[in-house]
Amino acid sequence: MLLCKTRARFARCTRGALLGALALALSTSTTQAHAEAAALVFVAAQPGTRDAQDAMANVRAAFARRPDIMLLGNDVLAERLTRHGYRRRGEPSIRGESLGRDADELLQAVAFGHDDEAVARGEVLLTEHGDDVLARGASDDDARALADICLYVVRALEHRGDGGRARERARECQRMIPDLTASADLHPPEILALLAAAKSQALPAELHVQLAGRVSGCTLRVQGRPFAPNVTPASAGSQDVTLVLVPGKYVLQASCAAPGFVHAIELQPGKPLTVTIDTELEQALSVAPVGLVYAGDAALPSASATRFDVLAGWLETRTLWTATLEPGALQLAKLEARDGHQAPGGLALVSQAAVALEPRATLTPRLERALAGMTCAAGCKPTPQSKPLGAIGITTVALGAGAVVASYALLASYASLDHQLDALALDDAHYAGKLRSRDRLGTAAIIASGAGSATLATAAVLWLPASEGTPWWAWLSGGAGLIAGGVGVVSWLGHGDAAGNQAGACPSGQVCLRRSSHLPLAPMLVTQGAALLSIPLTYWVRSASRDASDELSLSAGGGQLGLDFRRRFGGL
Amino acid sequence: MSFASRALRFACVLSSCAALLLAEPAVRAQDADARARAAAHWKRGVEQASAHAYAEALAEFEAAYALVQHAAVLYNIALAQVGLNRPAAALATLRRYLAEPVEAGDAKRKAAEATRLELEARLAEAPPGQLTIVIFPYGKVWLDGRVAGASPLTLSVPAGPHRVSGGREAEERSADVVLESGQSQRVVLAWTREDLVRDSR
pLDDT in tens, chain A (572 residues): 333 344 444 445 444 444 444 444 444 444 344 456 888 988 888 888 888 888 898 898 888 888 778 888 888 998 888 888 887 655 544 455 578 889 999 999 999 999 999 999 999 988 887 666 566 666 778 888 888 999 999 999 999 999 999 999 999 898 888 888 888 889 999 999 998 888 787 777 888 888 887 777 788 888 878 887 777 765 545 668 888 888 888 888 888 877 788 888 999 888 899 998 888 888 888 888 888 988 875 545 555 777 888 888 888 888 889 898 888 889 888 888 876 555 445 788 888 888 988 888 888 888 888 888 887 654 555 444 444 456 777 788 889 999 999 999 998 998 888 888 877 777 777 888 888 888 888 889 999 999 999 998 888 777 777 665 678 888 999 999 999 999 888 877 765 543 444 544 555 555 555 555 456 888 899 999 999 998 888 888 876 655 433 434 333 334 444 444 433 332 22
Which of A111, A155, A187 lies closest to B136 in CB terms? A111
**pLDDT on residue A23:** 43
Q: What is the mean pLDDT of residues B6-13?
A: 48
* 3-state DSSP assignment of residue A264: strand
- Residue B33 identity: D
Chain B residues whose CB is inside 8 A of the A187 CB are 137-138
Task: Determine, for residues B137 and A185 on separate chains, whether the beta-carbon distance falls below 8 Å.
Answer: yes
| Euclidean distance between CA atoms A33 and A504, whole angstroms | 64
CB atoms within 10 A of CB A437: 16
Bond into B127 cis (ω within 30): no
Q: Which amino acid is at A110?
A: V
For residue B44, the Cα-to-chain-centroid distance in whole angstroms is 21
Contact yes or no for A62/A371 (Cβ under 8 A)? yes
- Helix/strand number for chain B, H first, E second: 9, 7
Q: Which of A537, A513, A373 is nearest to A453 (CA)?
A: A537
Partners of residue A113 in chain B, C-beta under 8 Å: 134, 152, 154
Q: List the 109-138 stretch of A: residues with Cβ below 8 A of B.
A: 111-113
Indicate which of A104, A112, A194 best probes the interface with B, i.e. most B CBs within 10 Å of its own CB.
Answer: A112
Contact A14, A445 (CB under 8 A): no
At residue A99, the pLDDT reads 82
Give contacts of B150 with chain A, Cβ < 8 Å: 188
Name the residue type at position B159: A
Three-state DSSP state, A242: strand
Interface of B with A (CB under 8 A): 134-138, 150-152, 154, 191, 196, 199-200
For residue A339, which phi and psi values (nearest 5 degrees)?
-55, 135
Helices (H), A464-520: 472-495
Per-window interface: A 168-197 vs B, CB < 8 A: 185-188
- Res. B83: pLDDT tops 90: yes
A74 membership: H or E segment, kind and range: helix A74-82
Contact A112 B134 (CB under 8 A): yes
Half-sphere exposure of B84 (CA within 13 A, CB side): 21
Distance CA B47, CA B60 (A): 10
pLDDT higher at B112 or A134: B112
Collect all residues of chain A within an 8 Å Cβ-Cβ radius of residue B151.
Answer: 111
pLDDT average, residue stretch B31-38: 87
| CB nearest B152 (choices: A111, A185, A187) | A111
Chain A residue with CA closest to B197: the answer is: A185
pLDDT range class, residue B1, cuts 50, 70, 90: very low
Mean pLDDT value of segment B81-91? 94
Pairwise CB contact (< 8 Å): B199 & A188:
no
pLDDT for the residue A512: 56
CA–CA separation, B199 and B173 (whole Å):
13
The pLDDT value recorded for residue A300 is 52
CB atoms within 10 A of CB A281: 22
β-sheet bridge partners, residue A239: A211
* Cα separation, A374 vs A320, whole angstroms: 13
